[in-house]
Structures are given as structure tokens and as C-alpha cells.
Amino acid sequence: MKKVVSLILLLISVCTYAAEKEVLLDKIVIIVNDRPILKSEVELAKKWFNLPNDKEAAQKLIDHILLYQEARKKGIKVMPQEVEAAIERIAKANKVNSVEEFKKLLQKQDIAYNEFYDLIKREIAINKYIQFVLKPKILENSKEAVEETYRKVRIIFLSKKDPDFEKKYKIVKENLTKNTFEELAKKYSDDPVTSKEGGLLGKVKKGELIDYLDKAIWNARVGEIKEIKTKNGVYFIYIEDEEKKLIPKDINTKEVMNKLNEEMKLLIKKLREKAVIQYLDKSLEG
């Protein structure tokens, strides 16, 4: 009986410690434009960006969030499949065979998977912003240019995890046309990024999206609707329009990188001046 009581007390002690640890890690320490930052996110930023202390990690995280918010304002979208593919690549680079194993590895390091997912999502969005907004801006006076093609794309994604998958697939398949695409996307698409906007993914260029979508989009004709079957579900893609733009050509890679870094610093400064940043933990204030 004493052994049972001791075991119960030990379990209670362990659970209490874990709960206290979770509360400690998850308390809100900063608010950036109404977006709360948790202490655990600061800890993750410190590990990811390899920074020496919490204050530097917090400041880097604020910049990261402000840049992500700016990218969203400019219409930059990141699909869940892009984030998942990036995490798979990170897992393989760390010699981990599956995402599930990678999640366990993160857990051992006291890293919440949802916070890691959000960080990678921000990274992808910021990289797109640099590529499609900042880079053309700093190269706009370049005398040399190359022609690039962009396609305006809408998608509908039907997930096999949805118990009504077969029913939804049949409805969409039987009723899908150019004229009904937006309505059906809003009603049936399981893609959280595009469904509210009638499946609008936006303007994309070749090589920007995950491989199977990229190939389907660029093998299709303008005005065509194509179906792509994957292990996780079915995509319907509609190539709504196409346009060609003259994009300044990189002349000097080192010079371009220096200009990009300077432009990033100026942008972050402007974003910080406009932002509402509240430090609930004063030790993190920059």
C-alpha cells in the first residue's frame, strides 16, 4: 500500500512539475501589433537563430513577426504543403526519417511543434517577400532585364482526412467550371490559405511552389482546369491568367546582397516605428 501511495505521489509531483514548466514557458512576454509572443517562442528563436540570450532572441523574433505581417499585407501566401515540405527537408537534414520522429526530437528539446511550424511558415513568407518585393525594388534601375512569366492561379484542395471527402469530391467534380470555381472553392476547399478568397493562390512563377503543383500549373494551358491526385487528397487548379514582366537581372551578386541587407534594415526600422510593441517582461526590452 505504501508503495502505491508513493507511486501516486511521485506521479502527482511529476505532473505538477510539468504543468508548472508549461505555464512558465508559455506565459505571454511581448505583444506585437496585438500578436502575443510566448516565452517558449523566445526560447525557440534563441535556438533557431543561434543567439546568446533571451533579449537578442526576443528582438530578432519581433523583427521576424513584423516582416511576416508586412509580407501578408503585400499578398504573400504560404500553403500548408510548402511548410510541411520544408519541415520534411529539415528532418532529413537532421537524419530523421519521418516528421513524426522529428516531432519527438523537438519535444525532447522542449520545442512545441506548432511554434516550430509557425516559425518555418514565417521564414518562407519572408523569403518570398525578399524575392518578389524587395529584390525587384533595389534592381529597378538596372539596365539589364530578363522576361519572367507569372500565372494567376486558383486552387481547390479536398483532403482525404475529411469524412465527407467522397461526397465533396463528387459534387466538385460534377459542377466544376471556370464560372463555378470561386464559389465551389469557398464552399468545399480544405485549404485554409485560399478557400476564403475563392481559391485564389495569387500570381506565381515557375519553381515557386511544391513540385507536383508547380509541374501541373506550368504544364497546363491558360484557362484550363486540371486535377491532381496526391496521397493526402485531390487538387483542382485553374490557370486564370498569365502575364510577362521584365525583371531586372542580377549584375553583381555581392552588391545585390549588400543592398538587400540595407533595404531590410530600413524596412525593419520603419515597421518598428509604426508597430505597437508591449513588453510584459521588461527584461526583454531592446
The answer on pLDDT for 72 being more than 70 is: yes
The answer on pLDDT for 144 being more than 70 is: no
Of 15-19, 63-67, 245-249, give the lowest mean pLDDT range.
15-19
How far is residue 170 from each of residues 43, 128, 167, 174, 178, measured CA to CA in Å? 47, 35, 5, 6, 17
117, 123, 126, 132: CA torsion to nearest 10: -100
pLDDT at 282: 94
Locus of grid cell 521576424: 64
Give me the numbers of helices (H) and strands (E) for the chain, helices first please.
Answer: 11, 7
pLDDT at 237: 96
pLDDT in tens, 36-47: 999 999 999 999
Sequence spans of domains, the chain: 2-138+256-284, 146-248
pLDDT in tens, 228-283: 999 999 999 999 999 887 766 655 577 778 888 899 999 999 999 999 999 999 99
Pick the CATH number of 2-138+256-284 from 1.10.4030.10, 2.60.40.1150, 1.20.1740.10, 2.40.30.10: 1.10.4030.10
pLDDT in tens, 88-123: 999 988 888 888 999 999 999 889 999 999 999 999
Domain 146-248 has CATH 3.10.50.40: yes
Average pLDDT over residues 220-232: 94
pTM of the model as a whole: 0.70
pLDDT confidence tier of residue 32, bands split at 50, 70 and 90: very high
